[in-house]
Structures are given as C-alpha cells and as structure tokens.
Amino acid sequence: MANLEADHVVGSHVALGLVERLAGAVATDPGVARLVDSRTIYVVPRLNPDGVDRLLAGKPRADLRANLAAIDRDRDGKPNEDGPDDIDGDGLATIMRVKDAKATLVPDAKDARLLRKADPAKGERAVYSEMTEGIDNDGDGLINEDPPGGVDLNRNWPHNWTEYNPETGVAPASEPEVNALIRFAFAHPEIAAIWSFGLNDNLRAEAKGVAAADAPYFAELTKGFARATGPAGSDAPKDQPKDEPVKAADPPKDEPKADAPPPDRARVAQPKGQRGAMKGQAKGQGGGPGGPAAPPGAAPASVAASGIEGTTDGALSEWAYHQFGAVGLASRLWPAPEPAAGGPPLAGDGEARWLDWNDKAAGGAAFVPFHAVDHPTLGKVEVGGWKPGVRLNPPAESIAAIADGHYAFLKDLAGRLPTLAIKEAKAEARGGGVFEIKATVENAGYLPTALAQGLTTRRAAPVLVKLDLGDAKLLAGKALDRVESLPGSGGSREFRWLVLAPATKPLAIEASCPRAGTARREIPLR
C-alpha cells in the first residue's frame, strides 16, 4: 500500500518497482514462480490519486499530504478558499519570513536559513514571523488560513485515531479511500500481512505496543528487513563521523506525536480570535494548539517539528496489526538524508542536517535561498525554504536501489507466511473393516497461522481439519476439527479418527486456514 500521503510519491515508484521485479523474475526464478503461484499479492500503488495529481500539477506547486477532501478550516462557509500563492514567481509555494510586530523568531547564529525562538532573557530581539508563501485570497484578514488539503489518509484508520483534527477526518475511516480498503480487507480474510510505504516506519525500529507473543516475530522481520535492504536501505550511520551520536541521523519514526501539532496546522494562520492582517504560527516551533512550546533560545527546529514526521496514530500499519490482526508493517523508504556517493559526510541534526544534505549532496537544488520580495499587502518579505516534497522523496537515481532492497524483503516476508502441510498421515487396519487414521497437521511457515493479536481481534480464522470420509463411517473423532492457531516453524497437532470403511476407497484429510492455505492428503486404506 503506497502513496497514502500525497507527498510520499516515492511510495508509488517503489510499489510498482516491486511488481516490475516480480513480473520480470517469474519466468527465470523458480522461487518467485512458486511465490506468485501460491500467494496473492495485492498492490495499491497510489491510494491518494487526487492529492498526488494536485501535488504534481498544481500551480503553484505546494506541499500537500492529504486527499483534497473539502474542509472549511476557518468555518467561514467556504472550503479551501485561501491556500498558498507564489509571490516571487518561481512556480513554488514555499515560506515567507516577515518582520512584524508579532515576530518571535531570530536567525540561528550558525546558519541564518534556520530560525529559532528569540530569548529575551539573553537580550535577543525577535526579528521574524514565518508562514507559508501567499496572500489573503478571500480578504478575511488571514493569510493561507484554509488551503486545499483534506484528510491525511495515513491518519484516518480506526486505531489510535486523533479526534478534533481536520487532517485526520471527521471520524475514523471517514474517507472513501480508507473505507473501501477496510471493506476489501474484511472481504479477504486470507490477507496475512499488510505492508505500507509512508511516513511512519516500524521496520527500522523495535515494534511498539505489540502483544508479547507476537513481538519475537516482529523482531525477526525487522532483522530480515535490515538484511534485505542493507546499509543503503537502512539508516545505518555508515558515513557518519565517529564522534557524532548515531541518534542524530535517526529520523523520528514511529514515536507517537499525539501532542505535536499536525504538520500543516503549525504553519497556517489561526483563524479564531485573530483579526489582524498578519497571522501565522512560527513553523517548526512546535507551538500549535496543544503542542509543547519550544523554550526561548532552543535549538533550531528539528525534523520532528518540520512537517515531515510520521505518526502511528491512525496509521494503516497500526490498524492492520491492532484491529485486523495481521502482520502490519510500514517503511518510510528514504528515512534520512544521505551523503552523496563518495561525498563528504553530513553534519548536524534535524533541519541543520537536511540543509547540510542540500548543500553537499543535492547541489543546493532542494532549498530556495531566502530573498527579498515585495508582498502586495505586507511590504518587504523574504521568501525561500524547502521545495515541496524534497525531504520525503529521494533523488530519482536512488529509487531503483530502494526498490531492490524492498523487493528482497518482500520475498523474505512471503517466504515466512504461515503454510499448512499434512505430514505422517496413515491408516492402520484394526480388523472388521475398522481403521485408525492418524495425521499430523503442521505449519511449515515461519509465522503462526494466527498472531496473538489475530485471536484477540477474531480476524484470524482458525485452522479447520476435515476428514473426508467418502462412504466410510466415523466411529470416533471429529469429522471437522479446529485449531485456533498453529505456531510457526513447525508447530503441529496430531489428529486421530476411527472409521468403519466398507470398501478400500482412500479417505482424505484436508487442513485449511485462509491465512495459511489448504493442504490435502489422501490416505489409502490397506
């Protein structure tokens, strides 16, 4: 499942890259041929086509994560009436810095492209307010207060859903894209694993909140992912100087950000109770409604507060595990800025590191240097900042390697799915046409036929074991038996029956489970 967030376009490329690789290998690689013969892989390369179309074709190009559902954020009766505009004519909507009475920010001493909160106790005087590039399109005194946006499709799933936030929807699964996929999942109880490409990531970190019995499986999948994607696909600090803490390169991954402001909100004007011409919350200060205010003099805005963080709240992968009871996985695909091949290592943390990446690896192409522009109503402002999407999507030439690594993990994951087998099935004559039938049903896959969470949610169907009697008569044992879950890696259960068989027609034993397939074995009567 990819491209739930409009601005995570790389997800579509990698999802299609997986299909391309499977299709290309099926004729030559027996393992892949077996995989596609025995499993069904549903691929949704772009769950958010409306958002992506707007993102790619919109004028000006502006950041967009959501699905373009009409939302009236300022409750003036009109949805989406005031979004970003291109003031400096570069075709992009970036950031404006305004010197005004509401200023709270000063340029960082190390890099003036970064702003931080001024510290009056140190005698610092605030210089700037910061907001998205634009004008007051509807003349209500607010700039960009109701931009085209909608609902973030990776925050609309019914698990740990955030209420009272326009970007998460009016209700869990309120969005047709999400709702349709939930219906699809419920109609396909055989789905054993759901893997999303998006801003949250649980394959590069220990899975949190997982049932104790399921945790070892997730830990093993995490290891498998690291092996498959290797250093290029992981955020291993391969090129980091030794004296730098590893943590510095780690993006915020799946840590819940329940109290952080939603990405766009931190930047748009606050409509309520404000009437001046200039409104706008400082970007990156974490000071949105209910959010923690950065202390004066704090370090420059971190990645966590710059609108590119992921959250697990309402995310697909979390719903997949906690509510659907399947293996729920998520990868961000490009978790951190990477140095150019053979290039100098990156320094700093958060925004500073991204800027270093822009300078050293991206040739300065990702960031518009701030420059003075005449604003129609605000006078002189400075316009600049990150180009839309540049920190969520890797350079195009990196995508093939990312797809290679994720393809390797896809095969690894498919090879670990639960798989039923019948072993040691035999019939012993007891005389007088009576036979004792014994069979052992085994899960030959790595994963259990039902995760502990699958049993909790009752979404993981049991293993049904059926004795196909033909014209024989059952004397003892159950014609249809069930096992709630067979553990992985050879977990098995023995079944015994007594039958009275008039002829010597073979009997058959069938074990089936939607998530683990069907195994059938005939037992000749001798």
Query: Could you tell me if 129 and 103 are in contact, meaning their C-beta atoms sit under 8 angstroms apart?
Result: yes
DSSP helix/strand/coil, 415 = helix
Closer to Ca ion by Cβ: residue 5 or 136: 136
Select 138 or 255, whichever has its Cβ closest to Ca ion: 138
Least CB distance to Ca ion at residue 306 (A): 18
Our finding on whether 214 is near Ca ion (CB under 5 A) is no
Which of 20, 72, 374, 428 lies at the binding interface for Ca ion (CB under 5 A)?
72
DSSP summary character for residue 292: P
Name the residue with tokens 């409306």.
Answer: 50
Size of the site for Ca ion (CB under 5 A): 15
As measured in angstroms, the least distance from the Cβ of 100 to Ca ion is 17
CB of 377 to Ca ion, least distance (A): 11
- Contact at 8 Å (CB) between 449 and 517? no
Instruction: Give the residue from 400, 401, 403 showing the smallest Cα distance to 411.
Output: 403
- Residue pair 316/193 in contact by the 8 Å Cβ criterion: no
Nearer to Ca ion, 117 or 387 (CB): 387
| Residue range at the interface with Ca ion (CB under 5 A); choices 64-72, 114-122, 222-230, 516-524 | 64-72
Residue 81 or 244 with smaller CB distance to Ca ion: 81
442 binds Ca ion (CB under 5 A): no
φ/ψ (deg, to 5) at 115:
-110, 150
Cis status of the peptide bond prior to 60, with omega within 30 of 0: yes
As measured in angstroms, the least distance from the Cβ of 385 to Ca ion is 9
* Residue 78 engages Ca ion in binding (rule: CB under 5 A): yes
Q: What part of residues 452-491 is at the interface with Ca ion (CB under 5 A)?
A: none
Tell me whether residue 377 or residue 489 sits nearer to Ca ion (CB atom): 377
Strands 367-375 and 379-386, how do they pair? antiparallel
The DSSP annotation for 435-478 comes to EEEEEEEEE-SSS-SS-HHHHHHT-SPPEEEEEE-TT-EEEES-
Give residues 134-163 in contact with Ca ion (rule: CB under 5 A).
136, 138, 140, 142, 146
Is the separation of the CB atoms in 424 and 440 below 8 Å? yes
> Measured between alpha carbons, how far is residue 328 from residues 26, 154, 325, 347, 497 in Å?
26, 13, 8, 34, 38
Report the alpha-carbon distance of residue 400 to residue 282 in Å, rounded: 37
Find tokens 């954020």 and name the residue.
73
**Applying CB under 5 A, which part among 132-140, 172-180, 427-435, 482-490 lies near Ca ion?**
132-140
- 350, 303 Cβ separation under 8 angstroms: yes
Q: Which stretch binds Ca ion (CB under 5 A): 89-97, 196-204, 235-243, 389-397?
A: 89-97
Tell me whether residue 123 or residue 139 sits nearer to Ca ion (CB atom).
139
Encoded tokens for 149: 């946006």
Q: Kindly report the number of other CB atoms within 10 A of residue 507's CB atom.
A: 23
| Minimum CB–partner distance for residue 143 and Ca ion (Å) | 6
Listed ranges 82-90, 197-205, 222-230, 397-405: which one lies at the site for Ca ion (CB under 5 A): 82-90
Identified binder of Ca ion from the candidate list 82, 152, 382, 442, rule CB under 5 A: 82
Min CB(91)–Ca ion separation in Å: 7
Instruction: Report in angstroms how near the CB of residue 283 gets to Ca ion at its nearest.
Output: 15
- Residue (92 or 126) nearer to Ca ion, CB: 92
Using CB under 5 A as the binding rule, whether residue 220 contacts Ca ion is answered as: no
What number of helices (H) and strands (E) belong to the chain?
9, 16
Q: CA 22 → CA 191, 311, 320, 408, distances in Å?
A: 19, 30, 24, 10
Among 66-74, 228-236, 319-327, 458-466, the segment contacting Ca ion (CB under 5 A): 66-74
Stretch that binds Ca ion, among 129-137, 205-213, 427-435, 447-455 (CB under 5 A): 129-137
Counting contacts by CB under 5 A, is residue 63 touching Ca ion? no
Single out the segment in contact with Ca ion by CB under 5 A; choices: 70-78, 170-178, 195-203, 243-251: 70-78
Residues with Cβ within 8 Å of 176's Cβ and at least 6 positions away in sequence, in order, are: none
User: Site for Ca ion (CB under 5 A): which residue of 29, 50, 53, 90?
Assistant: 90
Among 88, 201, 351, 404, binds Ca ion (CB under 5 A): 88
Residue 92 lies near Ca ion (rule: CB under 5 A)? yes
Rounded-to-integer distance, Cα 41 and Cα 63, Å: 31
- Nearer of residues 35 and 92 to Ca ion, judged by Cβ: 92
Q: Check residue 86 for interaction with Ca ion (CB under 5 A).
A: yes
- List interacting residues with Ca ion (CB under 5 A): 72, 74, 76, 78, 81-82, 86, 88, 90, 92, 136, 138, 140, 142, 146
